[in-house]
Chains A and B, each alone.
Chain A
């Protein structure tokens, strides 16, 4: 029991100050750690001592400021002690992350990706069927005015262009594409919090648009133009949006918790780093896709032969599949 508060405070103050000093050093450089074992032991001693002081002080009404300071000190020290493992891993290595961590994360949630692909393909089939059954369906399905007309007219128009129409606005166009597509991917991921319902809606609708456009151009006999137009940027852009959807379904899976007997908070905590990894990679892919779409995809034959565009798209897609499917396998931990 504390009888003389002033005496108690005077005796304990140096220990609190020392703990605060150690905390400030640790917080300013999380990778620093405690140094030698003696430093860690000293920190733990000071933390326990501050905790004990707080317990003794808890009943004192007269010292709210002192109590609040001790509470803050103890909470900060607790956070440092129990988060130490994470701090050790916190140094981010971009190349390792891109070449190893990202593909491994993708493969960890492969089932979600297959589901996303199936939903998008279902949307494609629906979009193609809708346009096949009713030509007027294009007006409702397609949000872009330049796709509403006849594919043959558009191809003729594009092939008559010199390729200089976007001159002076390519970078802006590229930036608009990046911003729009990254925004859609973030939404596909965030909508996972609606038990994945809105994620499914976004993916299915994207599939419907894709299916409707592809069917429309194939029916008009413009398959080569379609491949040359879509493949260069679509080989990155479409998989990137699928990866955003994958992150959304992973989030939905954690929210629903099928067959998992762990609390909701722990389920979220388990998938959180993977979610950030997935969406980070999506942003990088979409920056690349935006550059290709603005600076490459907008040129058509005869300015840029379709064979070159299609070859570029195929190589791009093969590289993407190789990266996601095989990179980081050597250092991959075996599945439990």
Chain B
């Protein structure tokens, strides 16, 4: 079900048997290190809090209290990752803050044995210190996996917020758009323009004032040419609108909600 490009990529492409495919953005070593740092602080906070409670037992038996604290200092760093990733479906507190999630590398459900193994193998990933080995392996790995991920068959993905782009900076609301008078053309544009091209057009419009005049003309000419090739535009729009105005009109109908 999964496939990945031969070269190292920043996304894992999931291809379902039904022919649908989409990609999951992979988390790099720096983001993961920050999440781990947050988890380390959380572990210390848990240990400090629980130790204080356990030390109350010292009134009854100091030996027992010390034994429990010794065990806790050993167990909490191991069980923290296992418990959180199992109960919070691949997330620890640090991963939640950094918007990361552990997933099975084949898109299947994360199994308990995978969660246990990737957490136990921190013992080797953290060598010689500060997760240096794990970080280097992650950098070299095609799917940004540390050794624990490789053995457990897991990946860590970024949970990107899927917010609609901010069109207010383009001032489209106040401008008349001839394309909107042609619902069939509008519908075809919304269907034909792929997300990557739409985003390129949007970014070009947002940065148009920073472009050199010649470059600006070239960029919008290329984009307008592409849009004209996708959909047969009405004669008056194809001839009367400048390239830049056409791109603005297309971005308006592709991104904005119907008025």
Contacts and interface: CB of A to CB of B under 8 A. Distances in A.
A190 B120 contact: yes
A168 B1 contact: no
Interface stretch (A71-79, A130-138, A322-330): A71-79
Interface residues of B, number: 62
Contact of B124 (A30, A80, A194, A254): A194
Contacts of A190: 120-124
Interface stretch (A112-120, A233-241, A269-277): A269-277
Interface residues of A, number: 66
B28 to A, nearest CB: 21
Contacts of B1: 78, 82
Q: Which secondary structure dominates chain B's binding surface?
A: helix
A272 B152 contact: yes
A182 B112 CA distance: 20
A193 B150 CA distance: 9
B109 interface: yes
B232 interface: no
A186 interface: yes
Nearest to A176: B70
Given A171-B67, A175-B68, A190-B123, A268 B150 contact: yes
Contacts of B121: 190, 193
Nearest to A50: B20
A260 to B, nearest CB: 16
Contacts of A178: 71, 74
B22 interface: yes
A59 B162 contact: no
A241 B107 CA distance: 35
B74 A273 contact: no
Contacts, number: 160
A187 B117 CA distance: 12
B92 interface: no
Q: Which secondary structure dominates chain A's binding surface?
A: helix
B18 A51 contact: yes
Interface in B66-98: 66-68, 70-71, 73-74, 78, 89
A157 to B, nearest CB: 23
Interface in B47-76: 61-64, 66-68, 70-71, 73-74
Given A6-B258, A62-B254, A193-B121, A171 B63 contact: yes
B190 interface: yes
Nearest to A194: B124
Interface string B221-234: 00000000000000
Identify which of A68, A86, A172 gathers the most chain B CB atoms within 10 Å of its CB: A172
A183 interface: yes
Contacts of A254: 151
A65 to B, nearest CB: 4
Given A51-B16, A64-B164, A172-B63, A272 B151 contact: yes
B245 interface: no
Interface of A: 1-6, 27, 30, 48, 51-52, 54-55, 58-62, 64-65, 67-69, 71, 74-75, 78-80, 82-83, 86-87, 90, 168-172, 174-176, 178-179, 182-183, 186-187, 189-191, 193-194, 198, 251, 254-255, 264-265, 268-269, 272-273, 275-276, 279
